[in-house]
Structure 1
């Protein structure tokens, strides 16, 4: 990921080097850089800003196809809705790990940058870096927050032990080798530094039998669980996070599961509010969640995919069905050095 800079005024073209978001200029002509520097790790600014368009949705161009979600305004709104939903769920907390006085923070797969920006505002003495495949973060940010375009699944070249807090949120179905990523995180945390991760399941459930086995929610879950396996980035990985984080060497590993009602059917006031936001979250996100995986991985045609997505959205309005998703928070600490007498 990060590396030493090239000569002043020139793009950093080193292997696996990230590209600062502020360096992107859609008016730059790719040819100015010369054909010899064009490679899969050279994210020429105008090429990235062109993005990739498919079935009426916009996707990232850098390492295209590595992630199934669009990066257009419709999907970015879904990410920000999720941010608000998680804040309600976690009692207005951005993280659960007992982090104290963080100095250098890394947000992996930062999306719109909303978590990193909020964290930077809460911790003005911390240096916050957000990394994502898409340059969709705002230009105006707190002075202690910046963003880079990079692939977190590639080999990291940050200085080892350079972060004291690393955050992950909703990278579900995006990572092929989680143990490898946790190893990178472990190596790049300072001793005593914390990893905090929040992930969603895609398995819709009901406890009262209102979601039947042939319900569209059940079909949705089964189809996309299969799609994740075919894509090589399993949605089932969420159930193994605690084990993998522990095996990577972390200590004090904690796991907490939460229910996310789909709709305001819960009698609990807080869960009713979470359910309202999750209903909006699912409706806003459905097409973006489904289109790429259904057409590129499951080999449906676009019309078949859109009909299925429409049925899913219609089912969201049925208040007789009391379905929910689950989210899990796992955090752990890299051990501090052991003092010998």
Structure 2
């Protein structure tokens, strides 16, 4: 549906007024370096990737995550990081964390958030965890990376972290309450969780997005695929409740709109929209291929035609679309409940 139900616009942190569309963006990929050529020393079996439809995927816990781990998709992750930094006014997180000592970044991807956090907090030990060994070898001395599945049983000592960070694990977690329980158990009393997630529901506030538009079809198909995959994209609307039910207190939820393309008259949102155009254009094929072919049983050609139509629609000056981001953060109680 083009105008799916969600948080009322008055609750958003960033209204995005419409201006004349003025796309001043480049369609090219970002960078050509092979990040696997300078990764940390990890057993060679981890480097045995899987190739499908011309894209490279992780072999460890094969099929647990839908997106590729090749250069094209890694560029998308770094583009998203820059977009989020603009959106959050150059902040890596919203939780009121003070003097962090040991930090865990779940699903760290290219490691860019963990590296930036380690640079910003040289007194903290930062650990990034991901299924894929795509992190750089050269990182701050207080930052290291581990290859693991965060949905498996954790081997860290209980209450060993004072800050745990999650970003864009949407569509990759089957049991969020179980993950939050692990996080709760491994945070020290008073420690914080901070999570940023995206919706995949394209919307417009001015009626320019119709129910039969390719963006609306994209949202509907991927919501269906997420349900079939067993890792719902709709779960984003339940995360705050689950975090609270786990036992966290002072739980806050802040919603943002992310325009798709630089159509907003607000300078900040215009810049966010430029980066979101790149983010969607760069990421679309990787987001879609596995879910459409493996889960929805489309042919590769059918999927690629659909992706091409989506990318073409990104350049449409007449449709003023956005999707949403949410930041949720909460604190483990200082005293355990009896």
Q: Give the corresponding residue for 1:333.
A: 331
Give the distance between the partners of 2:146 and 2:280, measured in 1 at CA: 28
**Equivalent residues in 2 for 1:1-341, closer than 5 Å:** 22-24=40-42, 45-337=43-335
How many residues are paired up? 300
Unaligned runs of 5+ in 2: 1-38
Q: Could you tell me how far 1:48 is from its partner in structure 2?
A: 2.1
Partner of 2:30: none
Distance in 2 between residues matched to 1:326 and 1:262, nearest whole Å: 10
Q: Deviations over 1:60-93 (max 9, x none)?
A: 0100000000000000000000000000000000
Q: CA deviation at 1:339?
A: 11
TM-score, with structure 2 as normaliser: 0.88
- The question of whether the paired residues in 1 share the 8 Å contact of 2:189 and 2:336 is answered with no
Give the Cα separation in 1 of the matches to 2:40 and 2:125. Answer: 17
Alpha-carbon distance in 2 for matches of 1:315, 1:331: 34
Deviations 1:213-265 (A, max 9, x none): 00000000000000000000000010001000000000000000000000011
Q: Pick closer, same or farther for the CA change 1:267–1:305 going to 2, 3 Å.
A: same
- 1:47 is displaced (CA, Å) by 2.8
Normalised TM-score (structure 1): 0.87
CA deviation vs aligned residue, 1:134-190 (integer Å, no higher than 9, x gap): 000000000000000000001112100000000000000000000000000000000
Q: Which runs of 5+ in 1 are unaligned?
A: 1-20, 25-44
If asked which structure has higher relative contact order (CA below 8 Å, sep 6+), I would say 2
Corresponding residue of 2:36: none
Shift of 1:49: 1.1
- 3-state DSSP class of the match of 2:40? helix
Q: Distance in 2 between the 1:149 and 1:323 partners?
A: 36
In 2, Cα distance between the equivalents of 1:191 and 1:116? 22
Cα RMSD (Å) of the superposition?
1.2
SS at 1:23 equivalent: coil
